[in-house]
Amino acid sequence: MEFRFKKIGTIRTSYKDTAPYQPIDNDKGIFKIVVYSKYKRALLRLSNFKYIYVIYYIHKLKKRRRMVINPSWTNRKDLDTKCDANYGWVQGIKDYEHLLLHIKGIPHEY
C-alpha cells in the first residue's frame, strides 16, 4: 500500500533556519496554519479542541533523516502528552461516555 500526501495548506512561522523543539511560552512571533479554502469545511469545529496534531512534511530539511529519534533532553517521554487536553466537540455528542471507552481503547460491553 502506498500513501501520498497532498498539500492542503502552509505553516507560517517567524523561524527561518532554527526553531525550538518545543513551544516557548512567551514567544512573540506569529505562528499559524493557513489552510486552502477548499479544505476549510473539513475542519469544522476544530477550534473546540485545545490541542491538535498537525502532520507535516519538512521539505527544506537539510539534515539526514532517521527512522527513530530519541533526543537526550526528552528523557524518553512522549512529547505530545498534554494533561489538560480535551475532546472538543466530541464531548457534546450522545453516548459520549461510551465513545470515550473506544477512544481510550478500554475493553467494555456493548
Per residue in 77-104, pLDDT (tens digit) is 676 677 888 888 888 889 988 988 888 8
| Residue pair 12/31 in contact by the 8 Å Cβ criterion | yes
Transcribe 49-104 into DSSP letters: SS--------TT--SPP-S----GGGTT--TT--TT---GGGGGSTTHHHHHHHHT
H or E element in which residue 34 lies: strand 32-35
- Confidence band (pLDDT; 50, 70, 90) for 67? confident
Per residue in 1-53, pLDDT (tens digit) is 998 888 899 988 887 777 766 666 777 777 889 999 999 999 999 889 888 88
Q: Between the CA of residue 104 and those of 16, 60, 73, 88, 91, what are the distances in Å?
A: 38, 36, 28, 15, 14
Cα 91-95-98 angle, rounded to 5 deg: 95
Q: What is the pTM of this model?
A: 0.57
Given a cut of 80, whether residue 105 has pLDDT beyond it is: yes
Task: Provide the grid cell at 78.
Answer: 512522549
Using DSSP's 3-state secondary structure scheme, residue 38 falls into: helix
